[in-house]
Structure 1
Amino acid sequence: MFGEPFVLERRDGLVATVTLHEPEARNPLSPQLVRELTATLRALAEDKTVRVVVLTGAGKGFCAGADLRRMRSASPLEDRDEYDEILVLNRLLWEYPKPTIAAVHGFAMGAGANLMSWCDMAVVEDNARLGYPEVKAGVPSATVIPTLMRTVGRKRMYELVLTGATIAPAEAKEIGLINRVVPTGQALVVAHELAASVAEHHPSAVRLTKEIVKVTTDMSFHQALEYAKDLRVISRLRDDFTVEIAQGGSADRV
């Protein structure tokens, strides 16, 4: 695969699909893939023709995790520097200005499950394997811990990262780790349907909603309410702000 891109991108209307593309190695988060993925996501964040990003993997699964080949050959200092690049990707996705949806088939293990967790939503096929098995390899689960603390809670987080056990998609949905479980072969289809339903809304309203979530996550309850109120007022200042009332009396479009 020398010379081929590690990340592919295609457009479907207002939705961009980004594909991890090293299927023979099961799409590991190698340094090159991480750099290409980060660059692609940054470009899409600035592209006004894109409203939602769907992230998926080529071949038999989403992402098998860390690049074990590179881990075996890298010195501790090299590993630290390369992990810094993963932290950049982590922060980029966690604070991304547009909605992100992971479409997962086959497997999302270790760093691959981290990548899924950093997305806003996740659609997972019913036979996929999910888990955080780093502890079994003698290393701690690291950057996913703050994410899991904020998504599934402290006790569930401990069970996931200390046992390293594989979790079934149905259980992952039950604990709030993913959004939807779909039949085999349908993850990308359903993710695109979900993306299209989000993309039809005004991008300013979606962006400010994401901003409220990002900023208020670590605020006190009362601070969060005040911040959310202020951004709601800001949203009404745009030139094209309108509220259309449907026949049933509910707001149809803002």
Structure 2
Amino acid sequence: MSESLIQIQKEGKLAILEINRPSALNALNESVLKELTAAFHSLEKDETTRVVIITGQGKAFVAGADIANMKDLDVSGAEEFATLGQGTFDRIQKSKLISIAAVNGFALGGGLELALACDIRIGSEKAKLGLPEVSLGLIPGFGGTQRLSRLIGYGRAAELIFTGDMIGAEEAYRIGLLNKLVKDGDDLISVAKTIAESILKRGPIAVATAKNTILNGLDTQFAKGIELEKKEFSNLFYGKESKEGMTAFLEKRAPNF
């Protein structure tokens, strides 16, 4: 039996998900995408899991989609592949789980699109990022044209997509593509775990509500987003979590979430 393309290590409420196809620089094919979707489905069903760190085995995060598999696609086959990739990444973005992309090397094409679908992105100083699809006579097909422009603005996204150029981790951090730059020699996963541990100390319902409010707000007008924020803020007063959080603050102790 072949080794799984997705490996998961559980550490309490944290899961570390590693894409395991190093011989192909973790390139995304149909099998990887389907296993990635199944892995998130499994983690979502496990109610102990709240945060997922996604990384790649070897010297790449994900070097892109598998071009050897894409080369012979026709129009309908390409649409099916894009539908699969978009569906997988939508699942990650909209998941109740908080996702952290730990970009350990090349994050190109579909690899960068995977990182963009995550809530938080950190990268090693050696990381290289880009959307080189136009060099192949294509465009990003797994959400890159939409997520990148929303994250860093039209002008910067347009430059990266139209040129297809790779950028280094320092530039990616400067333009807001990476949340944090991890110095060479520091352990990338340890830094990701530190962020995860900070999230795990907070109210789980509040964090999930904040994620949904941000994402839903991005898809609507500002005035409607503000109304949504007010509604979700108020609804949190129904539950025990907010009462415990505010009581703990006044009693100068850690909350028991």
Structure-1-length-normalised TM-score: 0.93
Alignment correspondent of 1:218 = 219
Deviation for aligned residue 1:228: 0.6
Residue deviations 1:118-174, cap 9 Å, x none? 111011000111111111111112321110121000101100100111112111112
Deviation for aligned residue 1:252: 6.0
Alignment correspondent of 2:180 = 180
Deviation for aligned residue 1:225: 1.4
Gaps of 5+ in 2: none
- How far apart, in 2, do the equivalents of 1:47 and 1:247 lie? 33
- How far apart, in 1, do the equivalents of 2:238 and 2:112 lie? 39
Please give the secondary structure, in 2, of the residue aligned with 1:114.
helix
- How far apart, in 1, do the equivalents of 2:102 and 2:213 lie? 24
Alignment correspondent of 1:245 = 249
Task: Trace 1:47-196 onto structure 2 (pairs within 5 A).
Answer: 47-142=46-141, 143-184=143-184, 186-196=187-197
1:45 equivalent to 2:48? Answer: no
The amino acid that maps onto 1:172 is A
Which is worse superposed, 205-214 or 141-150?
141-150
Deviation for aligned residue 1:245: 2.1
- How far apart, in 1, do the equivalents of 2:26 and 2:146 lie? 24
- How far apart, in 2, do the equivalents of 1:181 and 1:159 lie? 22
- How far apart, in 1, do the equivalents of 2:104 and 2:82 lie? 25
Alignment correspondent of 1:14 = 13
Deviation for aligned residue 1:222: 2.0
Higher helix share goes to which structure? 2
- How far apart, in 1, do the equivalents of 2:197 and 2:45 lie? 19
The two structures, once aligned, show a CA RMSD in angstroms of 1.8
Deviation for aligned residue 1:96: 1.8
Alignment correspondent of 1:230 = 231
Deviation for aligned residue 1:223: 1.6
- How far apart, in 2, do the equivalents of 1:77 and 1:221 lie? 37
The amino acid that maps onto 2:198 is S
- How far apart, in 2, do the equivalents of 1:206 and 1:54 lie? 16
Please give the secondary structure, in 1, of the residue aligned with 2:122.
strand
- How far apart, in 2, do the equivalents of 1:45 and 1:89 lie? 14
Residue deviations 1:81-136, cap 9 Å, x none? 12211010121122121210000112111110111111110110001111111111
Instruction: Tell whether the 8 Å contact from 1:105 to 1:184 is kept in structure 2 after alignment.
Output: no
- How far apart, in 2, do the equivalents of 1:75 and 1:222 lie? 43
The amino acid that maps onto 1:75 is D
Gaps of 5+ in 1: none
Please give the secondary structure, in 1, of the residue aligned with 2:62.
coil
- How far apart, in 2, do the equivalents of 1:133 and 1:173 lie? 19
